[in-house]
């Protein structure tokens, strides 16, 4: 499975904690793009696609949500609720984000700039890609 949890450094301070994400240090790629989703209505899903070349780290910067990943052979669900923990998702992994808590913020660090052609939105095409 090309998806796994990554613990990021958590610097504890009585004034408030700090977490750092550094490319090629605790993030296994150069960061080309950062984006976040928020105000996701109750019951809505995000994702529903895979990437051909882009790697991502998904972080619950606030609140919580579930990420279901599927590589064509194995399916896993990760519950993200710690801002010092990220979910690495490699290429050719279908992802669906759901069960967002009120006020949840999903922060994503991506290895590629946005390119519509790099996405796989069709589930059957995804299955053909990963199963040859």
Task: Note the pLDDT of residue 109.
Answer: 97
Contact between 31 and 25 under an 8 Å Cβ cutoff? The reply is: no
pTM recorded for the entire structure: 0.94
Q: Is residue 126 predicted with pLDDT exceeding 90? A: yes
Q: Is residue 1 predicted with pLDDT exceeding 90? A: no
Ramachandran bin of 118, using left for φ above 0, alpha for ψ from -120 to 50, beta for the remaining angles: alpha
For 30, 42, 50, 106, the CA distances from 93, given in Å and listed in that order, are 19, 25, 5, 18
Task: Note the pLDDT of residue 8.
Answer: 94
84-125 pLDDT, tens digit per residue, is 999 999 999 999 999 999 999 999 999 999 999 999 999 999
Just list the catalytic residues.
49
Q: What is the percent of the chain where pLDDT is above 70?
A: 100
55 contact partners, CB below 8 Å, separation of at least 6: 28, 29, 88, 89, 90, 91, 110, 111, 112
Please state, in angstroms and rounded to a whole number, the distance separating the CA atoms of residues 24 and 132.
31
Residue 7 token pair: 């613990």
Q: Is residue 70 predicted with pLDDT exceeding 90? A: yes
23-69 pLDDT, tens digit per residue, is 888 999 999 999 999 999 989 999 999 999 999 999 999 999 999 99
CATH class of the domain comprising 3-131: mainly beta
């Amino acid at each position: 499975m090309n998806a796994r949890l990554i613990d990021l450094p958590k610097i504890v301070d009585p004034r408030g904690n700090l977490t750092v994400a550094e490319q090629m240090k605790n993030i296994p790629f150069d960061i080309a793009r950062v984006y976040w989703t928020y105000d996701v209505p109750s019951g809505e899903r995000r994702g529903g696609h895979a990437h051909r070349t882009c790697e991502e780290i998904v972080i619950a910067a606030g609140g919580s949500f579930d990420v279901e990943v599927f590589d064509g052979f194995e399916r896993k669900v990760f519950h993200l609720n710690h801002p010092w923990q990220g979910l690495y998702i490699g290429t050719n992994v279908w992802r669906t984000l759901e069960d967002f808590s009120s006020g949840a913020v999903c922060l994503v660090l991506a290895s590629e700039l946005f390119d519509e052609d790099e996405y796989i939105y069709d589930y059957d095409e995804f299955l053909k890609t990963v199963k040859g």
